[in-house]
Amino acid sequence: MCGIVGYIGKSQAAPIILDGLAKLEYRGYDSAGMAIFDGEKINIEKSVGRLKVLENLTRGGATMPGFSGIGHTRWATHGVPSDVNSHPHFNKNQTIAVVHNGIIENYIPLKKKMIANGYEFVSETDTEVLAHLLDYYYKGNPLEAITKVLHRVEGSYALGILFSDHPKEIYAVRKDSPLIVGQNEDGCFIASDVPAILKYTRTVTYVDNQEVVKLSADELHFYTVDEEEIQKESVTIDWDANAAEKGGYEHFMLKEIYEQPKTVTDTISPRIKDGDIVIDELNMTDEELKAVRRIHIVACGSAYHTGVTAKYILEGLCRVPVEVDVASEFRYRNPILEEGSMVIVISQSGETADTLAALREAKSRGFKVLGIVNVVGSSIAREADSVLYTWAGPEIAVATTKAYSAQLSALYLLAMKIGKVKGTISNELFASLLEDLKKLPYQIELLLGQKEKIQKFANRYVGAKDIFFIGRGIDYAISLEGSLKLKEISYVHSEAYAAGELKHGTISLIEDGTLVVAVSTQPELYQKTISNIVEVKARGAFVMAIATEDNVAMEKAADYTIYVPETNPYFANSLAIIPLQLFGYYVAVGKGCDVDKPRNLAKSVTVE
């Protein structure tokens, strides 16, 4: 969640840190701050609110000269958003400054210990405990003090640390919260995510759990928590730097909606070879895939919704039972994993805390895990036994669009691969599915051409208080994501329901003028869904339908219909979700919401 940027080198640090923090605004935050060493002491400036406040306060960094520093955007967990609770935090003599992403779970007993030793706390945060602990253990050797602290704290953290009497060094630490370091000819960097430093370097190293990094202007040194130096390999980021910029679009979200044809193409094309599906990085033989008897899919948010879709596809095409779990529930329900089970975890960032914990839970029980992730080198990518990458590139808007589409595409490929290996898909069906899969990018382009039509309709519902989404089967999974897109960026209350459940209580919420979005892409369920539409219209609802072009009966049943091109029903989500993403986007724009940075939300949820 939060964001960390640090720099040490030949250039002024503050402008670089501000620029890096601006690239991390998508992660969600409520305050920002910087600590810069000016040659004599560490100076801190911080403020509640948007990063622009800090930029104005420091005149773009001009009032904070110095060649080393750390910066932070905070998303409040312990203590309300305020100037005093903002990061960085000082020790008592203001000689050590710390920024922190994550949560220190045992901070209360540690705080009591520090108070008993004469330390005074000025904030409500768990992070201030770290600053005082570092002070307590510091005897002139930063690495020694840091490792002693790490042996005593519990929880998740990524840290950036300055010591005033070691002005030519900054330190970075990581446990269960993402952190990278980078280097160019002018200096070294720390960051929570690649976009923060992509402008300055493409050479980065992923910091692993319980590792400490010492950065100087021209060197990186890595250590274990036992102070043993280790060697690490850097990687080259091949993202287009412009991919992390708006490129003329009003919002990142709209840009990323329009990038979906390319995202789907990039995800599926390299895996289709000579009329077959070849996933080189899957690291599983045909025999291993054939032996899969049950599949557990674990994810959060939109990734969970792709898992719900995948359940219908995998069970339908592969005839394998599938369970889909919200990651935050998976490890706490003591799941039953039987021999022959395959565990799939899905995450855009590859750092989602609950999903990562579920991966570790499955591995601790001796089960292999397949990770579907977007970020090469992320924690899930490194810890999973097999990886299926979604080549979506950087996704900046908090509300996912193109990463969601890439995850769906990856799951289609996986289902078809397993189905063919198991013999549950005939050669004729496989060839037909492959042709429909290759058409998806073009069909998404066609749907994007309808944006003006969707925008006009969305403008009618800017003032809506409640909107309901209904569907059956895969259409229910589509409804889940459509509802989430709307509520998370527009703050309009919306809910998704399996259409057959309407009569079991939900229909009492329908009144005159209520908008109901009915998704109907599954031919065997057309008539059932139309019956549900009739039910809500009888109670005053206005119905917008998302239907396939062959569903001619929908024209009479719904009040307003958006048609999507025909495709194999298993792939319908990739098309039906496009108008729903646009609908949510334009309702949010009409309300004047901060589309890319919705309130209270963060892009990468790295705490429980």
Catalytically active residues are 2, 603
68 Cβ neighbours under 8 A, 6+ residues apart: 7, 8, 9, 13, 36, 37, 162, 167, 168, 169, 170
Residue for token pair 């994993």: 337
Pairing state between β 89-90 and 3-9: unpaired
Neighbours of 345 (CB within 10 A): 32
Q: In this structure, what are the phi and psi dihedrals at residue 161, rounded to the nearest 5 degrees?
A: -135, 135
Work out the burial of residue 535: count CB atoms within 10 Å of its CB; fewer than 13 is exposed, 13-18 middle, 19 or more buried: middle
Which tokens is 508 given?
């009492």
Distance between CA 543 and CA 545 in Å, rounded? 6
Task: Count CA atoms within 13 Å of residue 530 on its CB side.
Answer: 15
Q: Which residues is 203 bridged to in the sheet?
A: 236
Is residue 460 within 8 A of residue 558, CB to CB? The reply is no
Element (H, E) at 191: strand 187-191
Q: Put the strands of the sheet holding 68-74 in their side by side order.
A: 42-48, 31-37, 68-74, 3-9, 187-191, 180-183, 203-206, 235-236
Residue for token pair 């560490």: 42
Distance between CA 487 and CA 580 in Å, rounded? 12
Distance between CA 586 and CA 447 in Å, rounded? 15
Helix (H, G, I), strand (E, B) or coil at 59: coil
- Rg (the chain; Cα; Å): 25
Is residue 92 within 8 A of residue 132, CB to CB? The reply is yes
Helix and strand numbers, DSSP H then E, in the chain: 19, 27
